[in-house]
Amino acid sequence: MRKYLVVGGTSGIGAETVRLLAGLEGAAVVFSGRSAEAAAELAASLEPRERGRTVFVRADVTRQGDMDALFERVRALPGDLCGAFNAAGVAGGDGPLRGVPFHEADERGFDRVVEVNLKGAWRSLRGELAIMAAQGSGSIVNCSSVAGLRSADSMSASYTASKHALIGLSRSLAVEYAPHGVRVNAVCPGVIDTPMLGGMREELLSDLRRKNPGARIGTPREVAESVVFLLSEKSGYISGAALTVDAGGLTGAL
Ligand code: NAP
């Protein structure tokens, strides 16, 4: 059995990745998140055969106990952990588009973004790398953002900082774990149509048009396809990369 793990797989880009992985013959897909309701909805939307390949584990990335239980479940399934996608993330509450300047935003908001986006990835990566280093193979993708590669005035500075840090983690771990046969990459989506956009869809769209008239809001499927590629052996010579999935938006913005 080829095992996959999607941390933050209950919604948006993570959920779409679960969908694609569940379609693979011989796959077992463990996915996690806090919402058992969203997980049940996702499972119900899959074909019975694909649903049978999925296992949901309720786990908050900010709670080490939850993450330990998640990795116990992953280990208990037969086969190697071939791939892991760390998608759990939250947007910050500050930033120009939200009308909250950085110096007025409260400390708890900053801590929350770092705790989920960065420390959550840290907890996930430790569990994944322990398994993959022992088996001598595996591929990990961390969900960064184009906000991990440049300043993003449409997003909060705390979010942008956390996404830059994820690329640093990915690059360092790609080097450290190469001798163990493990690849680590980051995917950097542009603006993607998921619940994370909340009520900001129109503002983000006009922001996007201003920066790059050719760009459009992307679909979760378009990012998930790239993630599945990075998790597969087809990308066997790619590690330490930060792959932009933004229809050229980053190039246009500069
Ligand atoms: P989304 O639909 O809101 O999904 C966020 C996912 O993160 C959900 O599955 C959520 O699960 C999980 N999550 C949040 N807090 C968590 C916690 N404390 N513990 C465990 N899971 C948690 O948004 P999305 O756009 O698909 O976001 C996925 C990733 O893509 C994020 O890292 C985001 O920063 C990144 N990204 C998004 C965009 C975009 O434009 N949408 C662009 C670039 C990068 P529960 O609610 O069940 O906990």
Q: Which of 4, 159, 177, 237 is catalytic?
A: 159
Strand order in the sheet with 182-189: 54-58, 27-33, 2-7, 80-86, 138-143, 182-189, 242-245
Annotation marks residue 159 as catalytic: yes
Coil/strand/helix, residue 144: coil
Q: Which of 25, 29, 22, 21 is nearest to 5 (CA)?
A: 29
Pocket lined around ligand 1, Cβ cut-off 6 Å: 8-14, 33-35, 38, 60-62, 87-90, 116, 143, 145, 189, 191-192, 194-197
66-101: per-residue pLDDT in tens?
999 999 999 999 999 999 999 999 998 888 777 888
237-252: per-residue pLDDT in tens?
999 999 999 988 887 6
Task: Answer whether residue 250 is part of any domain.
Answer: no
- Å from CA of 11 to ligand 1 middle: 7
- Å from CA of 187 to ligand 1 middle: 13
114-165: per-residue pLDDT in tens?
999 999 999 999 999 999 999 999 999 999 999 999 988 777 899 999 999 9
Q: Which of 7, 29, 34 to mutate to test the pocket of ligand 1 (most atoms within 8 A of CB)?
A: 34
CATH code assigned at 223: 3.40.50.720
Q: Which of 46-55, 99-108, 207-216 has the lowest mean pLDDT?
A: 207-216
Average pLDDT, rounded, for the chain: 94
Task: Answer whether residue 254 is part of any domain.
Answer: no
38-70: per-residue pLDDT in tens?
999 999 999 999 999 999 999 999 999 999 999
Res 254: pLDDT: 42
- 27 Cβ contact list (under 8 Å, min separation 6): 1, 2, 3, 4, 21, 53
Task: Answer whether residue 45 is part of any domain.
Answer: yes
Total of domains in the chain: 1
Domain span including residue 91: 2-245
Q: Taking 60 as the threshold, does the pLDDT of residue 32 lie above it?
A: yes
Q: Which of 159, 99, 85 is nearest to 128 (CA)?
A: 85
Q: What is the mean pLDDT of residues 103-117?
A: 95
Top pLDDT among 246 and 254 is at 246
Atom from ligand 1 closest to the CA of residue 16:
26
Task: Answer whether residue 230 is part of any domain.
Answer: yes
Task: Answer whether residue 61 is part of any domain.
Answer: yes
- Å from CA of 33 to ligand 1 middle: 9
Q: Which of 5, 6, 7, 13 to mutate to test the pocket of ligand 1 (most atoms within 8 A of CB)?
A: 13
